Amino acid sequence: MAQIFHRSTNFISRLSIYGAVVIIGALGYALYAIAMSPWYTDQNVKRQQPVPFSHRHHAGELGIDCRYCHTSVEKSSFAGVPPTQTCMTCHSQIWTNASMLEPVRASYRDDKSIEWIRVNALPDFVYFDHSIHVAKGVGCTTCHGQIAEMPLTERAGTLYMSWCLECHRQPEKYVRPKSEVFNPYYEPPSAGEQLKMGKKLVAEYNIKSLQTCSTCHR
Amino acid sequence: MASEGSHNTAGVADPDPIIGPGHTFETVTDKISSIVLTRPVTPGWVFGLLIAFGALMLLNLTITLLMIKGVGIWGIRVPTAWGFAIVNFVWWIGIGHAGTLISAILLLLHQKWRTSINRFAEAMTLFAVMCAGMFPLLHMGRPWMFFYLMPYPNPMWMWPQFRSPLVWDVFAVTTYLTVSLLFWFVGLIPDLATLRDRAKNKTAKIIYGMLSMGWRGSAIHWSRYETASLLLAGLATPLVVSVHTVVSFDFTIGIIPGWHTTIFPPYFVAGAIYSGFAMVLTLAIPIRKFYHLEDLVTARHLDIMAKVMLATGLIVAYGYLIEAFLAFYSGDQYEIYMMKNRFHGPYAPLYWMLISCNIIIPQLLWSRKVRRNVGLLFVLSLVVNMGMWLERFVIIVISLSRDFIPSSWGMYYPTRWDWATYIGTFGLFFTLFFLFIRFLPMISIVEVRSLVHETNEEKGHS
């Protein structure tokens, strides 16, 4: 009786046992890699805006305080997107004819808001409050990254829950003195120093490591 | 039950054998493998498959609608948030228990009568667990998020709530499915090789050849096969007890009156085996008739299974008794009310039907005449299946619909989609089962052959 399978099938079947393990592992890794990739999270992806507003220029080179535009950051959950009037406080005087700024002037003339593209948007099922974070020594750059280096604004974090929890589980690793919160060039001390200072600040600012579901999912 | 495997004595033909007379290795192999290989497709089989497949399509329709509209298409309304989905889950998973009991525990106890029923009992287990597993997932409302139940590294840095019995369920049921599948498949390998060698058709040869994983029947193969079977039997044995214990924790961990009781684990396990054996009978009786397997699945088999049903049924009856007694003995007004509500509340007819189906009617099984009456046995097995379904309905719905505060009471009525889901899982179950009896040996050729060998040897030595 002729054999159904060729001799090589023995090798293939053995290989398939190990192959299955490798393939399952590789699939798992691929899923993980996709989930963490900028393609999926939009992390570090520059957004085109109606006006190519540069934080590097305004917050970095010119040294305008964050709160000059984001006025409600200390009082409200939302840091606030400035109205065109805020832009025009300066731009009615300087660069008044720059073509790049025409949409800003148009917005001012027509009394129609500029439609900025949101860069950091949390899902609706998450409650987040800027004011409490700022008040407890969480710097702007802790979450928003090196904003003073960004010609076009990009998302600095993944906005995954793990990203929030990194700090909520160990605030001492990220907290900074309140006086440095709005400093876009703040450099944290070395890891050991940070931990020492962080523990002190956590106690001083009465920072609670809030991790219950309802802290954010209200 | 140990005496059930009692040996023949003095060369006199056993008047009540576990295998018909005149069987040799050749006839056993011929008889079982021919069902798969040479028997033409019969109209009866096609008809049965079509009905089952129709019901399966109903399941597809229901699930699609459920995905679009949500669980609101079912009758579940607060306070009765569990309804049919969980009733059916517990019912199906209970049915699954007989397969493992027959194949694992009875293997370890050397009960010879298991050999000709274990294969399809195991298949029944697998298919029942598949049906069961679907319900909690569908009941979640967002079934596509089912993987949240598994602990895996994720960007939320979250684990499932390990203190929740629903998570224990996930582990219990997936373990059960995996071990049952492995056990079933390992047992199939030598038979698949037989089919491979006997098949005439090229495609069949290749498919059975791949499935039999290069089995040549050498001494080493047999020795490893025996070891693997024993190890898997050892692994599966605790599962017979543990799975339904964990399922019962879904209730006992809750504080709802009628749920929060320590009798649940043992009485759930007994109930599971009770319904499982009922289902084995429900399947075995028609199969042995249509495929003329009366000499392999003998009247003795049916008799023994009926006895197991009677025994586990009595344990279940004891459970009901203690449940009722403790409700009053506790002095807790809510427990007492729950019991009175079962006796004469709005769902009381179902409770009394449950008592008749599970306790009163099965007492007929004390009579040998009844146990030998195939038709009556078939009806009894259906009655017990229904009774066990009612048991879960009574436990879940009666307790949930009236708990502590009368202002939050509410009735539960199943909708047509509740029924459609339930009937649909029958479709899945029977579709798989019809395919199984057509494409795989429904009785273990290997084990029945070794039974023939042992029986003949005993005769030879006497």
Under 8 Å between Cβ of A215 and A165: no
Residue in B with minimal Cα distance to A29: B153
C-alpha B21/C-alpha B133 separation (Å) is 42
Q: Which CATH code fits B26-456?
A: 1.20.1630.10
Q: Shortest CA distance to B177 belongs to which of B101, B236, B89, B91?
A: B236
> Rg (Cα) of chain A, in Å, rounded?
25
Question: What is the amino acid identity at position B146?
Answer: F
Provide mean pLDDT across the span B415-430. 96
**What was the ipTM of the complex prediction?**
0.74
Contact B158 A161 (CB under 8 A): yes
Q: Shortest CA distance to B356 belongs to which of B382, B374, B383?
A: B383
C-alpha A43/C-alpha A40 separation (Å) is 8
Residue B134, classified by CB atoms within 10 Å of its CB into exposed (0-12), middle (13-18) or buried (19+), is buried
Percent of chain B's residues with pLDDT above 90? 62
CA distance A31 to chain B (A): 10
Q: Shortest CA distance to B100 belongs to which of B18, B187, B214, B192?
A: B187
DSSP B113: G
Q: Shortest CA distance to B445 belongs to which of B109, B115, B73?
A: B115
Residue B41 structure tokens: 């497709």
Residue found by looking up tokens 């199939």 in the block? B188
Q: How confident is the model at residue B84 (pLDDT cuts 50, 70, 90)?
A: very high
Contact residues on chain B for A9, CB-CB shorter than 8 A: 214
C-alpha A155/C-alpha A120 separation (Å) is 6
Coil vs helix vs strand at A57 = helix
Average pLDDT, chain A: 92
Coil vs helix vs strand at A206 = coil
Percent of chain A's residues with pLDDT above 90? 86
CA distance B156 to chain A (A): 4
Residue B3 has pLDDT above 60, yes or no: no
Residue B1 has pLDDT above 60, yes or no: no
Is pTM beyond 0.95 here?
A: no
The better pLDDT of the pair A180, B4 is held by A180
Residues B33-52 have pLDDT tens digits of: 888 888 888 899 999 999 99
Contact A160 B156 (CB under 8 A): yes
Whether B157 contacts chain A with CB within 8 A: yes
Interface with chain B: mutation pick from A126, A162, A164, A217, highest number of B CBs within 10 Å: A162
Q: How confident is the model at residue B340 (pLDDT cuts 50, 70, 90)?
A: very high
Q: How confident is the model at residue B4 (pLDDT cuts 50, 70, 90)?
A: very low
Four-point Cα dihedral B310, B312, B313, B318, nearest 10 = 130
CA distance A56 to chain B (A): 30
Average pLDDT, chain B: 89
C-alpha A73/C-alpha A81 separation (Å) is 10
pLDDT of residue B458: 66
CB pairs under 8 A between A and B: 26
Residues B113-153 have pLDDT tens digits of: 888 888 889 999 999 999 999 999 999 888 898 888 888 88
Question: What is the amino acid identity at position B423?
Answer: I
Task: Number of helices (H) and strands (E) in chain A: give both, helices first.
Answer: 11, 0
Which residues are paired to B80 by β-bridges?
B77
Four-point Cα dihedral A199, A201, A203, A204, nearest 10 = 160
Residues A74-123 have pLDDT tens digits of: 999 999 999 999 999 999 999 988 999 999 999 999 999 999 999 999 99
Lowest mean pLDDT among A119-123, B19-23, B406-410: B19-23
Which residues are paired to A46 by β-bridges?
A154
Return residues 78-137 of B near A (CB < 8 Å): none
- Helices B219-252 and B83-95: angle between axes, nearest 10 degrees: 150
Cα atoms found within 13 Å of the Cα of residue A188, Cβ hemisphere only: 22
Under 8 Å between Cβ of B371 and B302: yes
Residue in B with minimal Cα distance to A10: B214
Under 8 Å between Cβ of B233 and B104: yes
Under 8 Å between Cβ of B132 and B89: yes
Residues B262-275 have pLDDT tens digits of: 999 999 999 999 99
